Amino acid sequence: MIRRRSAFSRGEAMARHQDQDLGPGHTRPVLDSAQIRLQRETTVREHMEAENAHEFERCIAAFAHPRYEIVATGEVWDGHSGVNALLQANKKGFPDFLFHPETFHHAPEAVIVEGRFTGTHLGNWRGLPPTGRKVDFRLIIVFLFEGDRMVCERTYFDIGTPLSQVGVARDPNSRAGKIALALNHPIVIGKALVRSMRHR
């Protein structure tokens, strides 16, 4: 997976769009709060429907400036090429992936969506060969707006959940997890045991 870092901050991106010249005699319409909420949610729903259909050009077109921030991994995918690379990587790893929106919330500068991501691990994902296992995990997505223009999608989820579901990560409290910890981190586990014995 290619990691794309932003060449400028989200605030700078928003400022650039805010300062765009609309041409002589053209001004942005002033919308009331109800209109803005409706327009923002319509944009978000169109974006998600396109992503679920794997129509990535239509998905990206919903942004005034395409940008994904994946909080769980610290990755930032900025611009058309960056966002497209992320979407293509998701499709490669999970060809049947779907996002299932459940609840929409509105904030002064954002639409917040709670939902689930599902898919079958049939391709390389984050360097992991396909396992054929299914993933189904909850996530929260914050779609950031400048007025009625969507400028960023910020995603929050527990990376350990899909890794566990494809068989990479284990619960340290489970029997398999304890064995994996002992095999993968003998020095760390050894030091922890020594510390625990000293404090008895």
| 86-112 pLDDT, tens digit each | 999 999 999 999 999 999 999 999 999
* Average confidence (pLDDT) over 36-45: 96
Does 165 have pLDDT greater than 60?
A: yes
- Asked whether residue 180 falls in the same domain as residue 104, the answer is no
- Asked whether residue 189 falls in the same domain as residue 104, the answer is no
- Asked whether residue 104 falls in the same domain as residue 195, the answer is no
Asked if the structure places residue 3 within a domain, the reply is no
Which percentage of the chain shows pLDDT scores above 70? 70
Q: Band of the pLDDT at 33, cuts 50, 70, 90?
A: confident
- CA gap 162, 164 in Å, rounded: 5
- Asked whether residue 163 falls in the same domain as residue 176, the answer is no
- Asked whether residue 130 falls in the same domain as residue 177, the answer is no
Range of the domain at 45: 10-168
Does 4 have pLDDT greater than 60?
A: no
Does 28 have pLDDT greater than 60?
A: no
What is residue 16's predicted lDDT score, i.e. its pLDDT?
A: 39
What is residue 8's predicted lDDT score, i.e. its pLDDT?
A: 34
What is residue 1's predicted lDDT score, i.e. its pLDDT?
A: 38
What is residue 172's predicted lDDT score, i.e. its pLDDT?
A: 53
- Asked whether residue 133 falls in the same domain as residue 195, the answer is no
What is residue 20's predicted lDDT score, i.e. its pLDDT?
A: 42
- Asked whether residue 70 falls in the same domain as residue 126, the answer is yes
Residue 143: beta bridge partners? 111, 153
- The pLDDT tens digits for 107-133 are 999 999 999 999 999 999 988 999 999
What is residue 121's predicted lDDT score, i.e. its pLDDT?
A: 97
In degrees and rounded to multiples of 5, residue 102 shows phi and psi of -120, -45
Asked if the structure places residue 1 within a domain, the reply is no
**In terms of pLDDT, which residue wins out, 174 or 68?**
68
- Asked whether residue 51 falls in the same domain as residue 148, the answer is yes
Does 39 have pLDDT greater than 70?
A: yes
Cβ neighbours, 10 Å, residue 173: 7
What is residue 83's predicted lDDT score, i.e. its pLDDT?
A: 98
- Asked whether residue 182 falls in the same domain as residue 164, the answer is no
Domain count, the chain: 2
